[in-house]
Every structure is written in structure tokens, then in C-alpha cells.
Structure 1
Amino acid sequence: MSSFGKLIQSYKDKNLILRILVGVAVGAVIGFWAQKQSGSNIIGFIGMFGDLFVGALKAVAPVLVFILIAASILTKTFSNAKGLKRVVFLYILGTFLASCVGVITSFLFPTTLVLNVPVDMQRAVPASIVVVLKDLLFKIVDNPVHAISTGNYMGILAWAIGFGIALRYCTNETKKVFSDLSDAITSIVKFIIQLAPFGIMGLVATSVYSAGGEALFSYLRIIIVLVCSMAFVAVVLNPLIVWVYLRKNPYPLVFTCLKESGVTAFFTRSSAANIPVNLNLCRKLGLDEELYPISIPLGATINMAGAAVVIAILTLSAVNTLGIQTDFGTALLLCLLAAVGACGASGVAGGSLMLIPLAASLFNISNDIAMQVVAIGFIIGVIQDSVETAINSSTDVLFTAVASYTTSPHEDALTK
């Protein structure tokens, strides 16, 4: 292997979180230095890395949304295992309610972001829910090629769902093609994410140079709002759902799932990588052996309460930054879109962030602005993505346990 190849391999072997933290630190130092030294030239050069990163995200996101959602609908197989329908319902319900928590939190504690918004940009403010629905209908019937090329995520979502349903009973060879396409686009996203530290360095340097400490403070504020919202889902919303079904104190089970599943997921930052941990926990809890081998892998792909919170809050942060007014009907639509987007999120680190443009399109936010929000998501992802994965993965076991206990006579396992 050449020296250059060894350098690249050494870079890839380093922990992504550590690399991103280094990128944030270096970018902040360059930004403050350039601010004091009037170093606009160096900022212009370093900022180019951020622009390239955002541009790459902007290019891959429309194709990613289409392929992932279509493949998800097309390739998911459901068994007749007892309790599986209840698990799927709980996954969907939990994800939707989590998106509602994100929206409500954003209204109670509105946050803004430091974005590069052109002065002459028209800010299309939805006049009412009727206008929003009208715009949605026309976006949905857009030509699929045009929708992907222009970043019309409503059209992309509609065509992806349509393709997935229409090809639901196609041959296995066709399903394999979509599965391979999903793996291919995910690999491209992984490559882009490998370059995230350089892009984040450029974005942080540019933000600090233009806004000073305010940029770093905005990152901290959005992290606090996100983490508190996901904590509310974990220790209030999920226990409430468990209590409704079991009518018993839910916290022994909730804390067991958080301790034995959530902690490992926090550090691995991958629901897929945490599947063996969850399967082992299900065995310890004495759950239905026909149910959890199906429900746990399924939950790793569609049970995304943490992702729904992230999509909702970051989207509304962009809305607040642009001064767009939001009514109740539009907020409810955002809850639905955040839930749908979360269920279709990629399994890679930061995969939920790629669905933010889908939700942002509801407010006529341009793709350029939406991708800046995605990039900010990668900056704060060092903390956000870890907490998000912990919530997602631990809830897989929690809802599987609820379904198992309500369809099995061994409900006393809850107190083990």
C-alpha cells in the first residue's frame, strides 16, 4: 500500500465522532483568528470545504429519499407471528407521538440557527392550511424525474410510496435490484459522511467568522432542546404508552431497556449494530421467541422516535430563523411528515438528517437552506445522534415487550 493509501486508511480508522470534534475545534479556532486578523481570504478557502459538503448532501438527498422509502415499502416482509401487528402499530404510534413532542417543544422553546440566507430571498409564508394543502397536491403530481432534479420532496415521497406499493408483489429479482440500489446509495452517503469533518470545519469557520460566539451558542441551544425532547420521550411518553397497555408500573421495564440497550446504542450510534444486544435482552426478559427475532430487526429500520424528534425540531428551527409563521394545521402535517421521514431514515450515522429537506419543503424552504440545516445537524450530531440512537434502539425492546406481555400469559416477566 502506498503512503497516500496508508494515510487514507489511517484517517478512516479513526473514530468519526473524534474527527468531527477536531473539525469543530479547528473551524472555531480559524474563525476566531480570521475575525481578529481580517482573514477573509483564508475563510474563503476554508469555507469552500463547507460549500462542497453541503453541495454533496444536496445532490444525494433526493435520490436517497426516493430509493430508501421505495425499497423500504417494497422489501419489508411481515410474518404472522403473534403480536407482530401490535408491535408495528406501537412503532408507528411511538414515532408519530415523538414527532408531536418535537413540534410542541419547538413552539414552547423556539430556537434559531445561523444560516447563510440571501438578503433578497423571498420568504414564502404559507397563508393557511388550505394554501399548504393546495401546494402539496400540485407538488405530489409532479413528474418524478423533475421532482428529483429540483428537490421536490413531496413529489419524491409520493412517487416512492407509489412505486413501493405497485411493486409490492413483484419478483424477488426486482426486489433484489431495489435492495442493491438502497445499499449503493447508502454507501455513497457513507462516503460523503467520511468527509464530514472537513466540511464541518469549513462551516464552523465561516459561521464563527460571520457571527462570532453566537454561532457556537446556537449549536449548544439546539442540542439542549433536542436532548431534553428525546429524554421526555424516553421517560414520560414511552412509559405512558406502556402503562396504557399493561396497567402496571412501566418504569422497571423502561429503565431496564435504557440501561441494557440504550447505553450500548449510545456508543455504537447504530440501531443495526445493536440488534444482537436487543435480542439477548429479549431472551433475558422471557419474551415470545417467535416474535422478537422478527420485531427487533424490523424496529431497527422503522421504529425511529428519536429521528422524528430531530427532523421536527431542526425543521422548525429553520422556520423560526426565516420568520415563517406556522398554524396548527401545518404543524400537524409536519408531525406526519416527520414520522414518515423517520421511518424511512437511513441506518447510517446521521441518516435521519437527510430527511430534513422533506419536512422543510412543507414550508417552501429552498433546498439550499435545508441542506445548511442538515450540515448543522452533522455538527451537533456528536451528541444528538448518540442520544437519538439510544432512544430508537431501546424502544425496540420496550414495545416488543409490551406486545409479548399482552399476547402471552407470562406477564409476570415485567417484574423480573
Structure 2
Amino acid sequence: MKSSLILLICIGMVLGVFLGVVAPSYAGSFSLLGDLFVGALKAIAPVLVFTLVCASVTNHEKGTETKIKPLIVLYLVSTFAAALIAVIASFMFPTTLQLQAAEAGEAVQTVSQVLKNLVVQVVTNPITALSQANYISLIFWAVAFGFGFQHCSDTTKKFIIDLGHTVSDVVRMIVRCAPFGIFGLVYTVVGEFGIDVLVGYVRVLAVLLGSMFFVAFIVNPIIVYAKLRQNPYPLIWFCIKNSGVTAFFTRSSAANIPVNMDLCRRLSLPESTYSISIPLGATINMAGAAITITVLTLAAATTLGIQVNLLDALLLSVVASLCACGASGIAGGSLMLIPLACSLFGISNDIAFQVVGVGFIIGVLQDSTETALNSSTDVVLTATAVLTPLDDVTARVHAAVEN
């Protein structure tokens, strides 16, 4: 329990890769470790989000600033910037896909339908939202219950706070099991798929991953520096190492919510902010998803010989950003919105769903890296919105590392 979690995760990852290469036939026997770890995180995350947000609103004192509004702006700016980077990368390094005529496709949602569904999800039955991990609805109901609890006795308010702390402690125990879970996940992926399946898509993977790394190490630091006027890289590295690593293997922004909550606590950020911003970020802060949607859509257009001008590319960036905000926080959530983006260029539905299939093939790396970017950025932007140039960011990171 007192050992370095990152070191243990690295050991589990290395063992998983090694056994996946030398003994792939036994990979299925260890998949249960990964399934249990991810399942436990996904199961407890909705409860954690509801209790923390509810407790935060219940004990919120009037006049206390939460910084949620500027944080939402940062989320949207980051997502749109990622889409623009993806457009530039796709123009500089055009890629093609192996597509064939398909038999039939499913109905493609319009942008208005995606946004309508997102709004409708807000008023889902709270019990259903809890069981289905509908975080938009959970946040809405947690805020509503929180305002109601503000009129209760101090004893009731203290119970709500204690309940949030109890759930947080349970989450920390689950997170300590990450090395075993990640070992099972890596062993299963390497054993079942190997690396041969990715060879045919090296170029499109390079554009996708290159864009994501550029956002993580260039765009995000620029946003942090523009707000805090300090060296952004201690914060960037801290978030990528502690949030990105676990998100890479769980491939779920929702499952990584408890990890990000703990990082915000270690950075001494106000719970009144991160108890709302982290689950909200897992829903609408989807820079990686915007990149995936944009790159694969432009790759399909290039494959079909469709000429995309600058205006079309800008429109695609806007649509990809909106689509990304509606992407579910589960593995492969962004891929199902590619047909919507493809429809902008008149790409048929059957071809668009072939592109989705390509996304699932390369998802071993694409979706993992996408989730790592999305999840680590949630903590980066939360800290950026809360802190000021007068705060010593590097000192906070050092203290968080020791904590």
C-alpha cells in the first residue's frame, strides 16, 4: 500500500507485454484481472460523482467562487483547438484507408439530434442514471439534491460529507489494485491482438497519435502558461503520469474519474470545484475524441478523392468539437460519431461505418491514447482554472508527488 503506484503499474505493464508475446495462449486466463479492475472503477465512479457533487453543493457557502464557468470555456477551447490541430495534421500528412463497398448502414444522427439527446439525458430518472453511469444526469440531480439538503440540519449535512469521504476511501482502495488490473488488461490485449494488426494502419495511426501528443505537450502547456504565466510542464507531466497512464489502459474517461478526483485532492484544489469539474470533463472535455473524429473523417474523404477546402475543414472542426462533447465516456465512444462527420462531405453511410470499423481495429492504440489525453487534460484544466499566477504550481506538484 505504501509502494509507488506508478512503479507498480509499470511493472505490471512490462510483465503483461512480456507474457503477451511469449505466452499469448494463456492471455484469456488473466483477462478477469482487467475486467474486475475496470468493472470496479466503473461501478463506483457514478456513486462517487453523485455523493461528492451533492456534498459540495450541500455545504457550498454563498459567495464562494467555484470557477466552473471559466473552466467550461477552457474545456471548449481545448477541444476546438484539438480539432484544428487534427485538420492541419491531416492536410500536411494526408492518409488513406482500405475501404470497400458495404451492404447497408445504420441511420446517421444529425448534430441537432446529438445535442437534443444530450439535453434529454439530463432529466433521466436518477436511479437509472446511477445504474447506467449517465454523468450529465447525475450531476444535474446531485446539484438539485444538494440545494435541497442546504435546508437540512447540520447533522444531515455532516452525514452527506462523511458519505462522500467514505466512498472516496473505497475508490482509493480500488485504485491501489491498478497494477494487477493493468497487468491483466495488457496481457489480454497483447496476447489476443499482438502488434501485427496495427501494421497496415501505421500512417493514419501516426497522424492520430502525433496530433494527440502535440495537444498534450504543446497546446495544453500553452493554455496553462497563458493563464498562470509559469512553467507548465511540471503540471503536465504530473497529470499525464498519474492520470494518463491509468486512463491509457482502462480506455474509459468515466472509469478514470476516481483517479482524477484523487489527483485534484493531492494538488490541494478546492473540492467544491473538482467534484463537479472532473465528472463534467469526462463528458464534454474530449480533445482526443475531436482528433479521432476529424482525422478519420478526412482520411475517408481523401480515400474517396473528395476535395476538402478550408471552409469545409473549419466546419468539420466545429462539428467534431460538438460531436466530441456528446461522445460517451466509454471505450470507443467517439467512433460512433464518425458517420455524422462523414455526412458533411456526402460520404455514404455504409462507407462511414467501415471507417468506424477501422477505428476499432486501431483502437488498441488510438482509443487508449485518446482516453489518456482526455482524462489527463481534465486535471490540467481544472488546476489551470482554479490557480492564479500567484500560486506556485511547481511547489504544489512536488507536494502532490510526496503525498
Shorter-chain TM-score range? 0.5 to 0.7
Bigger mean CA deviation after superposition, 262-271 or 317-326: 262-271
How many angstroms apart in 1 are the aligned matches of 2:293 and 2:122?
31
Aligned to 1:43: none
C-alpha displacement of 1:404:
0.9
Say which SS state the counterpart of residue 323 (structure 1) adopts.
coil
Change beyond 3 A, Cα 1:228–1:162: closer
Paired residue type of 2:107: G
Cross-structure match for 2:352: 370
Q: Match for residue 153 of structure 1?
A: 109
Which residue identity lines up with residue 151 of structure 1 in the other structure?
A: A
Q: Does 1:360 align with 2:342?
A: yes
Distance 1:371 1:179, change over 3 A: farther
Tell me, what secondary structure is at the counterpart of 1:153?
Answer: coil
Gaps of 5+ in 2: 1-27, 36-52, 58-63, 135-188, 397-403
TM-score w.r.t. length of structure 1: 0.62
1:405 to 377, 381, 387: 387
- Identity of aligned pairs, percent? 52
How big is the shift at 1:277? 1.5
**Structure 1 CA distance, aligned partners of 2:376 and 2:118?**
28
Match of residue 238, structure 2, among 226, 240, 256: 256
Indicate how the Cα distance of structure 1 residues 403 and 375 shifts in structure 2: closer, same or farther if over 3 A, else same. Answer: same
Amino acid at match of 2:306: I
Preserved contact between residue 311 and residue 352 of structure 1 (Cα < 8 Å) = yes
Q: Secondary structure at the match of 2:271?
A: coil
Check conservation: 2:239, 2:380, Cα contact below 8 A. yes
Shift of the 369–93 alpha-carbon distance from structure 1 to 2, 3 Å rule, reads same
Inter-CA distance 352–414: structure 2 relative to 1 (3 Å threshold): same
C-alpha separation in 1, matches of 2:270 and 2:232: 19
| Distance in 2 separating the partners of 1:415 and 1:178 | 39
How far apart are the structure 1 equivalents of 2:114 and 2:295? 24
| Aligned mates of 1:309, 1:356 — CA distance in 2 | 11
Residue 110 in structure 1 maps to residue 64 in structure 2: no
| 1:222-246: CA deviation from partner (whole Å, max 9, x where unpaired) | 1111111100000000000111111
Aligned match of 1:227 = 209
Aligned residues: 286
Q: Is the 8 A contact 1:114 1:218 kept in 2?
A: no
- Label 1:161 to 1:216 Cα distance change in 2 as closer, same or farther (>3 A): closer
How much does 1:268 deviate?
Answer: 1.6
Which among 294, 298, 305 is matched to residue 312 of structure 1?
Answer: 294
Spell out, residue by residue over 1:272-324, the C-alpha distance to the aligned partner (whole angstroms, 9 max, x if none): 22112111111121112211111111111111111111110011000000000
What's the CA shift for 1:92? Answer: 1.0
Change (3 A) 1:150 1:278: closer
What residue in structure 2 maps to residue 236 of structure 1? 218
User: Structure 2-normalised TM-score?
Assistant: 0.64
Residues 339, 349 of structure 2: 8 Å contact kept: yes
Q: Distance in 1 between matches of 2:130 and 2:272?
A: 25
Deviation at 1:218, TM superposition (A): 3.9
Q: Shift of residue 169 of structure 1?
A: 8.9
Aligned to 2:82: 98
CA positional deviation for 1:177: 6.8
**CA displacement, residues 375-409 of structure 1 (integer Å, 9 cap, x when unaligned):** 11111000111111111110000000001103xx8
Change (3 A) 1:293 1:371: same
Map Cα deviations across residues 93-123 of structure 1 (whole Å, 9 max, x no partner): 10111011111100000000000048xx9xx
How far off its partner does 1:84 sit?
A: 0.7
Q: Aligned pair in 2 of structure 1 residues 352, 245: CA closer, same or farther (>3 Å)? A: same
Question: Are 1:389 and 2:371 counterparts?
Answer: yes
Structure 1 residues 382 and 97, CA gap change in structure 2 (3 angstroms): same
Amino acid at match of 1:153: Q
2:117 and 2:279 map into 1 onto residues whose CA distance is 23
- Say whether 1:415 aligns with 2:395: yes
Query: In 1, are the aligned partners of 2:230 and 2:393 still within 8 Å (CA)?
Result: no
253, 260, 283: which one pairs with 1:278? 260
Change (3 A) 1:325 1:398: same
Distance change >3 Å, CA 339–CA 412, structure 1 → 2: same
Q: Is the 2:115–2:326 contact (alpha carbons within 8 Å) kept by the matching residues of 1?
A: no
Q: Hey, what's the Cα distance between the residues in 2 that align with 1:104 and 1:180?
A: 40
2:365 partner SS = helix
Work out whether residues 153 and 361 of structure 1, in 8 Å CA contact, stay in contact via their aligned partners in 2.
no
- Post-superposition Cα deviations, 1:138-190, rounded to whole Å, max 9, x if no partner, equal xxxxxxxxxxx962432xx313434655x6996x75x777887887xxxxxxx
SS class of match (2:207):
helix
Shift of 1:331: 0.4
Q: Which structure 2 residues correspond to residues 132-281 of structure 1 after superposition, within 5 A?
A: 151-154=107-110, 157-162=111-116, 173=125, 217-281=199-263
Tell me the residue number matched to 1:83.
Answer: 67
Distance in 2 (alpha carbons) for counterparts of 1:260 and 1:358: 34
Distance 2:395 2:339 in 1: 43
